[in-house]
Amino acid sequence: QRRPSHWMDLRSVHNNEVLLYFLRDIAHPLTTCILTLCWQEEAALYRHLAVVLRHCLLTHTESMERTQEFHGHTVNLLVNLPLACLDVLLTPRVEPGSVEYMGLNMDAVAILLDFLDKRLDRGLKLRETLTPVLSLLTESARFHRETRKFLRSRVLPPLRDVRNRPEVGEMLRNKLVRLMTHINTDVKHCAADFLFVLCKENVSRFVKYTGYGNAAGLLAARGLLGGGRGEGEYSEEEDTDTEEYKEAKPNINPVTGRVEEKLPDPMEGMTEEQKEYEAMKLISMFDKLSREQIIQPMVVGCDGKLTPIDETVQQMAERISLHSDSDLE
């Protein structure tokens, strides 16, 4: 017999209160206590808790708002579990109606992704509502290859239309790229880190999906402005480009991440003397702005991070001086 809707709402309220109590009064003290146990007992307890929380993720009420609240508390608990125990989210066998990927049941991961999408659409208290689920998905993708590949297929499908900037649109990728320049530091770092992990921490692939302008913040913080890869360990499989992307690639502006018409050369028709004059004029303007401390010219240092150009010039001068001294000896 079908229960009345008010009974479902009352039950969801009760479940939310139980999860809040568990998170506040049991989960954190339990984490400290369990550290004294042997690994087998600890892992078994955490894995059992993960099974319970997976069931919570698959539970829905007749109220979307209550469901979102319930899933939010579930995410807050999952993010505190050891990553090695989260594989139980994928262990149930695939059944008719399940989300299957690489032979695994991805129902829980798909619900987490849908939960993230709904939180993005709400746009309220992004730091409190987004960072837990983004952190959970990021670390799961970093630790579990199958989870990363599934998330990438949903969030970063092969590029086809590159006429618009990566941050323009209503796809999940567009929403996350917009967060990469958010005013809140935690939000933009979480969003950028999530996409970076989905790109296997490969700088060129990351720039391809987000544009260099959006990616610069994370790359500067990681010392990767000069390219390369992050510290994560991933397989070396190649990225597959669509025919549409291959055709458009020569005309894509890497800074904006979209196809742009080629602008006319501003120096076309100038003599070499005119070009030199304009170059010296530009250098003089930058020098004035620098001396008045309006701007500080920077270059990418040997560590892949931005450093003041004065320090770089000084270091180069010192190296040249050392070489000269050694040659004289």
Strand partners, 253: 258
DSSP string, 241-258: PPHHHHHHGGGEETTTTE
Integer Cα distance of 79 and 244 in angstroms? 38
Residue 133 scores a pLDDT above 70: yes
pLDDT at 184: 92
Integer Cα distance of 210 and 196 in angstroms? 10
Q: What is the pTM of this model?
A: 0.78
pLDDT at 215: 93
Q: Which residues contact 162 (CB under 8 A, 6 or more apart)?
A: 244, 245, 248, 252, 257, 258, 259
Average pLDDT taken over every residue of the chain: 82
Residue 139 scores a pLDDT above 90: yes
DSSP string, 122-141: H-SSHHHHHHHHHHHHHHHH
For residue 158, give the DSSP letter: P
- Residue 79 vs residue 35, higher pLDDT: 79
Highest mean pLDDT among 6-15, 37-46, 157-166, 170-179 belongs to 170-179
Q: Are 101 and 154 in contact (CB under 8 A)?
A: no
| Residues above pLDDT 90, as percent of the chain | 33
